[in-house]
Amino acid sequence: GVLGVGGAEPPELKGDLLNVAKISDGGKKQRKNWTGMWGELTSDQLLLHKERQQEAGMKAGGKTDVVQLCGAVIEWTPDKSSRKNVFQITTHTGSEYLLQAESYSTASKWFDGIRKTVDSSSKL
Ligand code: I3P
């Protein structure tokens, strides 16, 4: 891909409910359990919030899963689910997350944003 000189800021995304299944934790296989989580993409992490209010930094009692994107791999994984629009993030520590959205435009928006963040944070 073509990157501008100096590198554009990666897009920050938030406000979509993503279906998430963590299928490996540090290389240890986990039972697949899809959960709706509110995504928030920062400059180097994907935050997955249980509660929508957490996107605004408010306490809501829910938990946030932090996915480190530096050194991660992201790929479309149509064979890993009966669901459509599924992609996988594998972190540098070997944790694997499947992400899915009902709408292709939502899924591809997050895929593209996360991929750009992976690329830019892995270059540092
Ligand atoms: C799983 C559950 C998941 C399904 C998974 C099942 O069963 O139905 O939704 O994944 O399929 O094993 P259980 O709740 O009993 O663990 P998809 O929705 O992504 O198809 P899989 O084993 O073929 O991945």
For ligand 1, what atom is nearest to the CA of residue 34? 9
Beta bridge partners of 67: 46
Residue of the nearest CA to atom 12 in ligand 1?
32
- Contact (Cβ atoms closer than 8 angstroms) between residue 111 and residue 87: yes
- Whether ligand 1 lies within 6 angstroms of the CB of 83 is answered as yes
- Give residue 49's region: left, alpha or beta (phi > 0; psi -120 to 50): beta
Tens of pLDDT, residue by residue over 8-24, are 565 579 999 999 999 99
Please tell me the distance from the alpha carbon of residue 35 to that of residue 32, in angstroms, as a whole number.
Answer: 10
Q: What is the pTM of this model?
A: 0.88
Task: Please give the number of the atom of ligand 1 that sits closest to the Cα of 81.
Answer: 19
The values of phi and psi at residue 26, to 5°, are: 60, 40
Q: Which amino acid is at 51?
A: E
pLDDT grade, residue 60 (50/70/90)? low
Measured from the Cα of 100, ligand 1's closest atom is 19
Residue of the CA atom closest to atom 6 of ligand 1: 32
Q: Identify the residue whose C-alpha is closest to ligand 1 atom 23.
A: 81
Which two three-digit tokens encode residue 41?
A: 């993409």
Residue 3: is its pLDDT beyond 70? no
Model-level ipTM above the cut of 0.90:
yes
Q: Which two tokens stand for residue 123?
A: 């270059």
